[in-house]
Amino acid sequence: MAGRKPGRNFLFVPGPTNVPDRILRAMHVVMEDHRSSDFPKLTIPLYEELKKIFKTKDGQVVIFPSSGTGAWEAAITNTRSPGDKVLIARFGQFSHLWGELARRHGLDVIAQDEEWGTGANPERIEEALRADQNHEIKGVLVVHNETATGVTSDVAAVRRALDAAKHPALLYVDGVSSIASIDFRMDDWGVDLAITGSQKGLMLPAGLGILAASQKALAQMKDAKCTRCYFDLADHMRTNPSGYFPYTPALPLLYGLRESLAMLQEEGLDNVFARHRHLAEGTRAAVKAWGLKLCAKEPRWHSNTVSAIMVPQGFNGADVIDRAFRRYNLALGAGLSQMAGKLFRIGHLGDLNELMLLGGIAGAEMAMRDVGIEIVPGSGVAAAEEQFRSSQGAKETRIAAE
């Protein structure tokens, strides 16, 4: 019989992420009447604060009791009709799944396959849109940060591709593992539908799917014929302005969301993005010291929220993950689909600092050595430490100079 594992589980999957104690306390609430006259005091401010996270002034934010997949579905079904053509850049498991969701709703999905380890190709997207003289393509779908491969795509460049082609298609962006962790600019980038979930950069448990829709996207609702009920935006548009929901909301998560948004604003979004970049650079320094490679093919694809680390030929990433969990109480992300067994993933997003991440790097290093991968003991930890110290020292020098 296995004994109790002392201490905390080190959670380094790319979602769900660590939930701060402050948010846990905020969610520890008694249930209440979600139709009371006091309830809007909680809910109405959430929409305005979320708009700051999406960086939109005119977009409308809707909160669903669901995962991010529910927000995927809401984005598609509220703006599209069966038979509509949509173009999706497919370069990882989650871009694949989003396309499959659209297909199951009857859409004609045109997939632009890119090599896993790269991201959306704006030039190919522009070429496809220029060829679509009759504007049959109604939407372009892009996953901003593909957690399966640790790749971040350039959404601004995709918007430039649509503009260069003078194409009216809506731009749909999955920001589940980027929003509130990596810079995201809905209005500046001309994103029409932006999607996120509660369990990553927002530092909450899974359970909220959040969608931000532009006015252009909302205008297409009247002609959209996809079947929808639970995810019908019209129901929310009738009830949300007064602070209510069309059905029972996830009450504790809403209280947690209020605290999460307060924490993000207290740190400052630019500081949040800089912290994630700082932590990612330390992880990448560790990978280099180990003599291993990332799944991301080039630095321009590097994600600041998750690193997908290729294991040497002849080894199975699943063995590293299992050893880390069973021996060191460390949870690492697995390789998915065509990357199964070829890599393991270190998530470095959400409520995280340098010392926490060093623990994850140390555990991964020990687990790799346990399964026979030859790396110099302590090399990754030392490289991450030096990266953290040097970049922090540079930051302090800049502050002193100012």
Can you give the residue ranges of every domain in the chain? 21-265, 268-401
Instruction: Say what the pLDDT of residue 393 is.
Output: 56
Instruction: Say what the pLDDT of residue 391 is.
Output: 84
Instruction: Say what the pLDDT of residue 144 is.
Output: 98
Residue 142 has pLDDT above 70, yes or no: yes
- Rounded Cα gap, residues 162 and 20, in angstroms: 40
Residues, the chain: 402
- Rounded Cα gap, residues 18 and 383, in angstroms: 24
- Rounded Cα gap, residues 124 and 136, in angstroms: 17
pLDDT (mean) for 122-143: 98
CB burial class (10 A; 0-12, 13-18, 19+) of residue 14?
A: buried
Q: Would you give the DSSP letter of residue 311?
A: P
Hey, is 193 helix, strand or coil? strand
Helix 93-104 crosses helix 68-77 at what angle (to 10 degrees)?
40
27-80 pLDDT, tens digit per residue, is: 999 999 999 999 999 999 999 999 999 999 999 999 999 999 999 999 999 999
pLDDT (mean) for 208-224: 97
Residue 227 has pLDDT above 50, yes or no: yes
β-sheet with 343-347: strand ranges across: 10-12, 330-334, 343-347, 306-310, 293-294
Residue 1 has pLDDT above 70, yes or no: no
Q: Which of 307, 302, 345 is nearest to 324 (CA)?
A: 345
Query: In the numeric block, which tokens belong to residue 85?
Result: 């053509």
pLDDT (mean) for 221-249: 97
318-371 pLDDT, tens digit per residue, is: 999 999 999 999 999 999 999 999 999 999 999 999 999 999 999 999 999 999
> Alpha carbon of 4 to those of 149, 328, 332: distances in Å?
33, 13, 20
> Alpha carbon of 28 to those of 11, 85, 92, 345: distances in Å?
21, 45, 37, 31
User: Is 268-401 a CATH 3.40.1170.20 domain?
Assistant: no
CATH number of 21-265: 3.40.640.10
Sign of CA dihedral 235, 240, 246, 251: positive
Which phi and psi (to 5°) does residue 256 adopt?
Answer: -65, -40
Percent share of the chain, pLDDT over 70: 97
157-204 pLDDT, tens digit per residue, is: 999 999 999 999 999 999 999 999 999 999 999 999 999 999 999 999
Sign of CA dihedral 169, 174, 175, 178: negative
- Rounded Cα gap, residues 30 and 260, in angstroms: 19
Cβ atoms of residues 378 and 365 within 8 Å: yes
Instruction: Say what the pLDDT of residue 348 is.
Output: 98
Residue 94 has pLDDT above 60, yes or no: yes
